[in-house]
Amino acid sequence: MPKFTQLPCYILCGPEIGKRNSFIKDIRKRCADADGAQPEYHTFYADDTSVEELINLLQNGSLFSSRRIVEYRNAELVTGKNDIAVLAGYAASPSPEALLFLITESYSLAKPLETAVGSAGKVVFWELRDYEKPTWVRERLAQYRLSIDDEALTALFELVENETSALDSACIMLAAYFPAGTRLGIDEIESTLSKSRQEDAFSLFDRISGGDMTAALNVLDTLLADRQSDATQIIAALVWSFRKIERLHFLTGNGAVSGAGQGADAGPCLDLETAFRQEKITTKTGQRKFRAALRQFSADECSRAVRAAAATEGALRGGLGASFERPLLHLLICSIMSGNCSSPALSGWKEEEYYRFN
């Protein structure tokens, strides 16, 4: 084993995946340089790979490599007392040929793990602050000899997650689409990034407001199959979107916001462009989507959709639990899209009519 001073165990915390990946990449490179060969690399998830399997791999020598590097993601899911003790035991007496990254997007792990790894081995990767983001993107684009308008930058932040690996991918994509020297405007950003956007809870809302129930249910199933989204996040995004339409209706004088009570003002009767600006819906794609949604749902329907979503969330958190996550969300979407409780899926559903729209 070549001599190489490196901590044998790290806790890498925080939501900033890009910076974390750079950190890991740098250590991998230093290991490869020191060893004169690529280390054996493994990525495991705590919900898939048990602590025993992990330790087994870390402690067992490799035939083909002098060093093993293991990423153990979602390490916050290691909650059992025995598992924590075993992992902490390893961290206190690690294999000299192995390097372990305990990775979590939260900010800490179980105390015994943090103690065993020590403060020197804990690194937190914070999100970019709002004032840091424009500089970061501009510098990244400048590497490809691209520049960007302020308005286009706002659109980019609207379309891309606030996380450097996502922003980096967006910059790479823009560099692939546009020749060096291009100044990117809002049209370039929208035409490139809105098409490549992955399905998320907001694209589910787009399908709902587009009126295509099959597509909406397909997107829902995709989201549920993807570990990045859970039912609560999906509901939160739908509620956010329906509240946004409700506010747009209010601002344009077409309805009151929920909770305002009967006889509340119809709103300031702004024109739609001004209402979009007020609600910070600046991209043409965003505006087009919300126009469709405004046509599809009245303020009253939005208010009922929000109530139905809240009731669904209640059911999910209550006795029905995660076992009924998919059917309950399907029912919610069917209810929202079919309007006045006309969906046969709802007839006979007992949960105190929380889906009823009238």
Partner 1 sequence: MKFTCDKTSLLREISFAQEIIASKNALSIMSNVYLEATDSRLLIRATDVKVGFETSIPVSDVVPGAMTVFCDKLTGILSSLPEGDIGIEQDQGRAVLRPASKKARFQLKTLSGEKYPELPRAEEQSYFEMPAKEFRRMVVQTLFSVSTDETRYFMNGVFMEKSPEGSLIMVSTDGRRLAFIKNESAGSLPDFKPVIIPTKVLGIINKRLSDEGMLGIAITEKNIFFRFNAYQISSVLIEGQFPNYQKVIPQNQKTKFSAKKEDMMEALKRVSIFVEQKSNRTFFSLSVGSLILSSEETEIGAAREEIACDYEGEDTTFALNYRYIEEPLRVLDSETITVEFSEPSRAITLRPEPASDYFHIVMPMQID
Instruction: Pick the stretch among 58-66, 180-188, 209-217, 292-300 that binds partner 1 (CB under 8 A).
Output: 58-66
User: Closest separation between CB of residue 56 and partner 1, Å?
Assistant: 5
Q: Report which DSSP code applies to 77.
A: G
Nearest-CA neighbor of 6 among 25, 31, 26?
31
Question: Helices 150-159 and 132-143, interaxial angle, to 10°?
Answer: 100
Q: Decide if residue 56 touches partner 1 (CB under 8 A).
A: yes
For partner 1, give the closer residue by CB, 61 or 321.
61
CB atoms within 10 A of CB 118: 14
Count of residues in contact with partner 1, rule CB under 8 A:
19
Q: Decide if residue 63 touches partner 1 (CB under 8 A).
A: yes
Site string for partner 1, 188-227 (x = CB under 8 A): ----------------------------------------
CB of 29 closer than 8 Å to CB of 71? no
CB of 26 closer than 8 Å to CB of 99? no
Site string for partner 1, 23-42 (x = CB under 8 A): -----------------x-x
Nearest-CA neighbor of 206 among 249, 154, 152, 242?
242
CB of 330 closer than 8 Å to CB of 217? yes
How far apart (Å, rounded) are the C-alpha atoms in residues 219 and 208? 10
Identified binder of partner 1 from the candidate list 6, 25, 30, 43, rule CB under 8 A: 43
Nearest-CA neighbor of 216 among 331, 51, 121?
331
Identified binder of partner 1 from the candidate list 32, 77, 86, 175, rule CB under 8 A: 86
How far apart (Å, rounded) are the C-alpha atoms in residues 209 and 242? 10
Identified binder of partner 1 from the candidate list 25, 33, 79, 93, rule CB under 8 A: 93
User: Closest separation between CB of residue 149 and partner 1, Å?
Assistant: 42
Site string for partner 1, 94-133 (x = CB under 8 A): -xxx------------------------------------
Q: Decide if residue 64 touches partner 1 (CB under 8 A).
A: yes
For partner 1, give the closer residue by CB, 24 or 337.
24
Q: Which of residues 309-348 bind partner 1 (CB under 8 A)?
A: none
* Contact partners, residue 196, CB within 8 Å, separation at least 6: 173
Phi, psi torsion values for 214, nearest 5 degrees: -60, -45
Nearest-CA neighbor of 121 among 61, 75, 78, 60?
75
User: Closest separation between CB of residue 90 and partner 1, Å?
Assistant: 9
Q: Decide if residue 59 touches partner 1 (CB under 8 A).
A: yes
DSSP-based three-state secondary structure for 122: strand
For partner 1, give the closer residue by CB, 57 or 193.
57
Burial status of residue 216 (CB atoms within 10 A of its CB: 0-12, 13-18, 19 or more) = buried
Identified binder of partner 1 from the candidate list 61, 80, 268, 314, rule CB under 8 A: 61
| Residues binding partner 1 (CB under 8 A) | 40, 42-43, 52, 55-56, 58-65, 86, 93, 95-97
